[in-house]
Amino acid sequence: MSRRELALPGAPHMLAPLRSVLVCLCALGAVLALPACSKKQASEGQEAAPSPLPKAEAERGMKACEAYVARLCACAETHPELAEDCTLAKARPQAFALNLELSATAGLESADQTAVKVEARKIAAGCFEADSKLDPEMCPRL
């Protein structure tokens, strides 16, 4: 006998009708939600295309990534253990720039453009965070 049968004697036969009712309600809810989704998609097609990342935000993110790379690589000149980090960090501004270009692409769908903007913001946030984690005594600000 399982723990469930021991804890709730006679419960399995009582739950069977309830389980079938729940399955029917879930199926009914899914069927009723389909027309609502199709109406939403139709109305989304009429909306204006989402805008690219705001210029001020793009400039701030690019400056943050470039400043982080400059600071880290300057520090790597005196601390060779940071040389590999410097090499890897050089990809951050390039990745950010690529996301900026993609966010300004005309034929990009709304969901894709949103995803590109989210990734650009993650890269910029990563630059700010990585820069703040550098030891100011070891790697002074430029």
Q: Which residue has the higher pLDDT, 123 or 11?
A: 123
Separation of alpha carbons 69 and 130, rounded Å: 10
CB-CB contact of 28 with 35 (8 Å): no
Give the model's confidence band at 24: pLDDT under 50 very low, under 70 low, under 90 confident, else very high.
very low
Q: What is the pLDDT of residues 106-131, one digit of tens each?
A: 788 889 989 999 999 999 999 999 99
Task: Tell me, yes or no, if the pTM score tops 0.75.
Answer: no
The domain limits of the chain are 3-46, 55-133
Q: What is the pLDDT of residues 65-106, one digit of tens each?
A: 999 999 999 999 999 999 999 999 999 999 999 999 988 887
CB-CB contact of 65 with 81 (8 Å): no
